[in-house]
């Protein structure tokens, strides 16, 4: 038996975890990632507005 023979499919590099997660299920995962990122961005904006308001409240004359 020819032990040195490697099937061509084994020579292809295994896809990274990222590639697998972005390409899964007809690439719906990249949509989930994009929507999640947008919600995260809006959340960060809310956080920053909260901080600004807090600083204003602290400056308010008692």
Partner 1 sequence: MRHWWWKIAAIALLFTASVAGLYIPLSPALVHVSPDRFGAGLVKVQVTGYNTRFHSDVAVRLENGGDTFCPAQVEVLDATHLELTLVVPAGLREAMTDLVVGDLRYPGAFYTKGGGEGFPAMDCGDAIPVEEEQHFTFPNRSILYESIRNLHFHVPMWFTMVALMSLSVWHSIKGLGSNSLEHDRAAVGAVDVGLWFCALGLLTGALWARATWGTFWTNDVKLNGAAVTALIYLAYLVLRASVTDPAKRARLSAIYNIFAFALLVLFLFVVPRINAVDSLHPGNGGNSGFSDLDLDNRLRIVFYPAVAGWVLLGLWMADLRIRMARLSEQLDR
- Residues near partner 1 (CB under 8 A) are 18-19, 22-23, 25-31, 33-35, 37-38, 41, 45, 49, 52-53, 56, 59-60
Please say which residue, 3 or 27, places its beta carbon nearer to partner 1. Answer: 27
Q: What are phi and psi of 6, to 5 degrees?
A: -115, 130
What is the closest distance, in whole angstroms, from the C-beta atom of residue 2 to partner 1 in the complex? 22
Q: What is the Cα 12 distance to its own chain's centre? A: 26
**Residues whose CB falls within 8 Å of the CB of residue 21, separated by 6 or more in sequence, listed in order:** 29, 33
What is the closest distance, in whole angstroms, from the C-beta atom of residue 31 to partner 1 in the complex? 5
């Amino acid at each position: 038996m020819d032990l040195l023979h490697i099937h061509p499919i084994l020579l292809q590099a295994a896809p990274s975890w990222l590639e697998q997660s972005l390409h899964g299920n007809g690439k719906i995962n990249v949509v989930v990632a994009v929507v999640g990122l947008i919600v995260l961005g809006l959340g960060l904006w809310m956080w920053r507005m909260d901080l600004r308001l807090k600083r204003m409240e602290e400056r308010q004359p008692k």
